[in-house]
Chains A and B, each alone.
Chain A
């Protein structure tokens, strides 16, 4: 189905970013503008997601050029679900930032940068070709470089380099692999690539030499962005130093775009033929190590923000686990897990931000008795933490259930590691809970009690409440959301629907006859 309006999801934040640059000295209009932009995008995305619940795919061919020749935007169940979740996370973190971020940081182009980040993220989710995915990545990364060094504290700047250099190298690898893919197949459109690769594999012609190398190179690219096992070292340091709303936004959006890249391109194109035999073991091994090392790292830390940051890794491991299975239910489980993780993880980071503004520190040894001082924060944190662990009525349970059950028959050891990781997650979350919230208030913190009300934290609580509410919703509405995820899994494992929706032409002469006027 053609719907050219899906381009709005990229255009709205771009226009908002430009306008808020002009308004950079006036925070209030920028905030309203930003909320209007996020809100309208979320409403549009939800509307389209409801429209495609039967498994339709919305496609927009820019300028009317047919598929491999123009730019294609695709809104299918996978992109739709992630777009909605990403926007929910963005709204929560954005509102939270109003009261946590210093006015200095806010004036230094926080609002335009967040909008630009969303331009990049939305473009990555929507695009139907590899090079535009690269451009989306770059827009997102440029904005994130700015956000990482926002405020410009010393520790932040020196950590920003790690993030910057690794991502620059990964982006360069992305350009190279995109160029080589074009050299091999003469197209960068994912649907067209899938068509050519399928035809070559099924006709026994075989894939060009070097296809496996390109697959692995792309896996490196997405792995670096998504913090897969050997490439995760930048993440804990970066998330540790930047402002909490920014860390929450990053943990919700950035690594997931890397995971999305794998979910989008590998089942469709790059796991075909021999490449699948190389990529799948890599993904499986990476999933196991990422899950286990991430959670072990988290258990050993004593600073809340570090625990949460390293936990992102172990959760990414679950997603890779689902992707590596490459089955319909595995991909659907990974997708559902991504949705709940984005929301839950961001809300935990936001809780951490409020803890810091209450006590001035996120060191567990200096926290204590927070439950008595701030009941709302305690309850929100508990709900979010238990969702992360995966206790039954909450959202994390369903994601883990699907993954563990799906993996059990073929890779029982991975399922066992996933269960063990769940237990250790519980340990690390209980550590924060019992030391930070449940315990007796420390002597030194009691005299700070009066300063509690002085900070205006209205926006912070709204953000947390919104995200925790969304996390509860994902748990309660697990069935419809998993239904959408299952549709996405079917569309990923069987590309006929995707190919039919994009319908790439094989010959340019027919394109010239029917082509656009551009």
Chain B
């Protein structure tokens, strides 16, 4: 099981690094999200039965001597997922704003361009309203 998870984590991280190295902001954003998932899976992979503090719990009659899963890493991941979700929302919003204001999502062009470009999309969607 650990091996499967390790392979999954490695794949996710590889793909995300590949995506983050591209020149398109969309791909970079997707790479960042995948990296977050990779991190969460890595924490799942390392969590096992509760580590140090369960001598009292394991004997509880309701468990009947069965194995325990450590709830704390799952709580960590839940928090991390929520935070990731919020950041994802912000990043996607920023992507939309960038696309509307500059009509490009390419890193090189963003760095180069100086004057605001006008695109058909920009005119139709009335960018001022976005912030109001």
Contacts and interface: CB of A to CB of B under 8 A. Distances in A.
A73 to B, nearest CB: 17
Contact of B79 (A135, A176, A185): A135
Contact of B36 (A154, A160, A161, A172): A172
A53 interface: no
Interface residues of A, number: 36
A176 B53 contact: no
Interface stretch (A163-171, A345-353, A426-434): A163-171
B39 A175 contact: yes
A102 interface: no
Contacts of B35: 168-169, 172
B46 A138 contact: no
Given A142-B90, A172-B35, A157 B53 contact: no
B97 interface: yes
Most A Cβ at <10 Å: residue of B52, B55, B110, B131: B52
Given A179-B76, A180-B46, A187-B52, A157 B57 contact: no
B51 to A, nearest CB: 3
A158 interface: yes
A220 interface: no
A175 B87 contact: no
A168 B54 CA distance: 35
Contacts of B55: 507-509
A165 B28 contact: yes
A68 B51 CA distance: 13
A157 to B, nearest CB: 5
Given A165-B28, A172-B39, A178 B87 contact: no
Given A152-B97, A165-B32, A178 B76 contact: yes
B56 A508 contact: yes
Contacts of A165: 20, 28, 32
A142 B87 CA distance: 7
A176 B94 contact: no
A350 to B, nearest CB: 26
Contacts of B110: 158, 161
Nearest to A183: B46
Contacts of B48: 183
B47 interface: yes
Interface in A163-200: 164-165, 168-169, 171-173, 175-176, 178-180, 182-183, 185-187
A185 B40 CA distance: 18
A512 interface: yes
Given A175-B43, A509-B55, A182 B90 contact: no
A176 B54 contact: no
Contacts of A180: 42-43, 46
Contacts of B113: 154
Given A168-B32, A175-B80, A176-B42, A185 B111 contact: no
A131 interface: yes
A165 B21 CA distance: 11
B54 A508 contact: yes
A507 B46 contact: no
A191 to B, nearest CB: 15
Contacts of A175: 36, 39-40, 43, 76, 80
Interface in B76-122: 76-77, 79-80, 83, 86-87, 90-91, 94, 97-98, 101-102, 107, 110-111, 113, 116
Given A142-B86, A508-B55, A512-B56, A182 B101 contact: no
A505 to B, nearest CB: 9
A232 interface: no
B39 A176 contact: yes
Contacts of A183: 43, 46-48, 51, 73
B1 interface: no
Given A186-B51, A508-B54, A164 B94 contact: yes
Closest 8 CB pairs of A and B: A186-B51, A179-B43, A183-B46, A186-B52, A509-B56, A508-B53, A158-B110, A172-B39
16 contacts: A131-B76, A131-B79, A145-B87, A158-B111, A161-B25, A161-B94, A164-B91, A165-B20, A168-B36, A172-B39, A175-B39, A180-B42, A185-B52, A508-B54, A508-B55, A512-B56
Given A145-B94, A168-B32, 5 more contacts: A154-B113, A169-B20, A179-B39, A183-B73, A508-B56
